[in-house]
């Protein structure tokens, strides 16, 4: 079984997220999503519109997602990859090169983003 992991906040879940998760799942047989906690988002200077629990509930409804774990630190990626016996780490290509250090443990794939949609754009539309 090929195990895949991806990370994110997944706030204001939209079709760009769904496409990324579908493509991530296609890289293997089992997809783990490490969902950023509210505290970790605050540490990153991000304020999610929806709580961790609400975002987790949304992700649990998707057929592509097999397991959701909580992301609490930048440094946990190496530990997660090893603890969950990960074969493929994937994330949006806006992070290209940032996680190449994981290549000693698994394949690293940077997925193209869906350019016409983002959570930031959705929040901007809602405010305007």
Residue with tokens 């909580």: 70
* From 22, 46, 63, 77, the catalytic residue: 46
Q: Is 22 a catalytic residue?
A: no
Identify the active-site residue in 22, 44, 49, 77. Answer: 44
103 classed as catalytic: no
Token pair for 14: 């939209």
In the structure, how many helices (H) and strands (E) does the chain have?
5, 5
**Which residues are known catalytic residues?**
44, 46
């Amino acid at each position: 079984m090929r195990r895949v992991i991806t990370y994110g906040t997944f706030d204001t879940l939209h079709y760009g997220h769904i496409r990324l998760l579908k493509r991530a799942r296609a890289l293997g047989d089992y997809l783990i999503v490490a969902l950023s906690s509210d505290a970790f988002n605050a540490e990153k200077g991000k304020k999610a519109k929806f709580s961790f629990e609400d975002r987790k509930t949304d992700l649990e409804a998707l057929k592509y997602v097999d397991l959701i774990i909580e992301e609490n630190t930048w440094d946990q990626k190496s530990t997660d990859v090893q603890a969950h016996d990960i074969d493929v780490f994937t994330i949006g290509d806006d992070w290209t090169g940032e996680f190449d250090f994981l290549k000693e443990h698994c394949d690293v794939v940077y997925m193209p983003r869906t350019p016409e949609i983002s959570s930031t754009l959705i929040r901007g539309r809602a405010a305007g």
